[in-house]
Each structure stands twice: as structure tokens, then as C-alpha cells.
Copies of this chain bind each other. A is one copy, B any other.
Amino acid sequence: MALADESGIDALSMRRLADALDVVPMALYKHVANKDQLLDGMIDTVISEIDPAIAGAGWRTAIRSRILSARQVLKRHPWASRVLETRSNASPVVLDYMNSMIGIFIEGGFSIDLTHHVMHAMGSRLLGFSQELFDDSASMDPEMRDAVVRQMEGRFPHIAAVVKTVYHDAGSVVGAGCDDQFEFEFALDLLLDGLESLRAKGWSSRRG
């Protein structure tokens, strides 16, 4: 995990890991059956870093704070979301986490039926990540980004308009772009609002 945290997941080959441990590549295979098993173990360690659920709080507080904790964990291990997506079978540790999340919804007054669909709708957000489509992390100096906006204006006027207000709101701080934490909580709260309203009105997918 230290190697992946520092050098990225692409740098984590069995050979390079062995090198970092001052050992020959094949020595790793006495501790782990193959690379997939290594990645499985790393994911379990990541999940176990998520704070336990707050007891005695309402469902919304419990879910929200747990998800935000998961998000902090994933920020420490940026490779984890990509690895998670490639895992084909949930480990007991992941199942434990999901089981406790489901438990919070059910104890919070969600029907089992609604809880099922809620788990689908939350998807990877339950583990604190969401797939952003654009990488807006590239920080640019004001001149550079003005040039980019000007170039977009003709062909992609709507994108240019959005980008302009983002920069305007962020002020003149160099490199300031979108506020990841704000966007994550915005989407999370939008979902939680929707869930609460479905719960309150006794929503059901059943025909009967």
C-alpha cells in the first residue's frame, strides 16, 4: 500500500514490489497466491480504515458521516477506487461493511424493498467515491485558463459559460477550480433528500 500510495497503482507490479522489499519476485508467491489476492488484501485494509458507524444517531447522520469517512480514506489511497471496481467478488470485509450500511437503512425505517433499490442507487458512493468524468485537478494560471476559455467559446459555448463562472466564483486564486468536497456533498445530499422523501411516503416497487 505504501508503494501504491507513493508511486501509483501502475507502479505496483509484483516485480517492483519484490524489489522494494529486497526480495526476489517469486518470494511473494509464498505469501499470496497471485496478484489479485494481493489487491484483495489491500482493499480489505482500506475498508477497515473507514470509521465504524455512529450508534444512536438517525439513519441520515449515520450514513452520511460514514460515507464522508470512507471518502477521506479513499483520498489517502487514490488507487483504491480503481482497484475496487475491478474486484469481481466482495470479500467478507466488504460484505460486513455493506451489511452494516443496509442495517442502518432498515433500522432507520426503510422497507427492505426500498433499501434494496437504495443500495443500487447509491452504488460506489456508499464507499465514498463517485466517478467524475473530467479531471479538473489540473491547475492553471489565470492567463492560461482565460486562453482555454476563449478557445472553447466558439465550439463549446455552454461549457465555456460554466467554466467562466467557476473561475469567477473561485476568485483570482491561482489553480482554484471545482471544490471536490462541495460537489461530493452536493450530490450525496441530493440523493439523501430523495431517499428520505421516498421513505416518508412509504414508496414501494411492488405492484400488489
Contact = CB atoms under 8 A, between A and B. Distances in A.
Interface of A: 82, 84-85, 88, 90, 92, 95-96, 98-100, 102-103, 106, 112-113, 115-117, 119-121, 123-124, 126-127, 130-135, 152, 155-159, 161-162, 165-166, 169, 178, 182-183, 186-187, 190-191, 193-195, 198, 205-206
Oligomer copy total: 2
Contacts of A156: 95-96, 98-99
Given A85-B131, A88-B135, A113-B165, A158 B123 contact: no
Contact of A98 (B135, B159, B165, B205): B159
B190 A159 contact: no
B190 A121 contact: yes
Contact of A133 (B92, B123, B195): B123
13 contacts: A82-B85, A88-B135, A90-B133, A95-B155, A98-B133, A112-B165, A115-B162, A117-B182, A117-B186, A120-B187, A121-B187, A124-B133, A190-B195
Contacts of A119: 162
A83 B186 CA distance: 27
A124 B195 CA distance: 20
Judged by DSSP, the binding face of A is helix
A191 B197 CA distance: 12
Contacts of A183: 117, 120-121
A185 to B, nearest CB: 10
Contact of A131 (B100, B113, B117, B131): B131
B90 A165 contact: no
Contacts of A120: 132, 178, 183, 186-187
Contacts of A166: 116
A206 B115 contact: no
A106 B169 contact: no
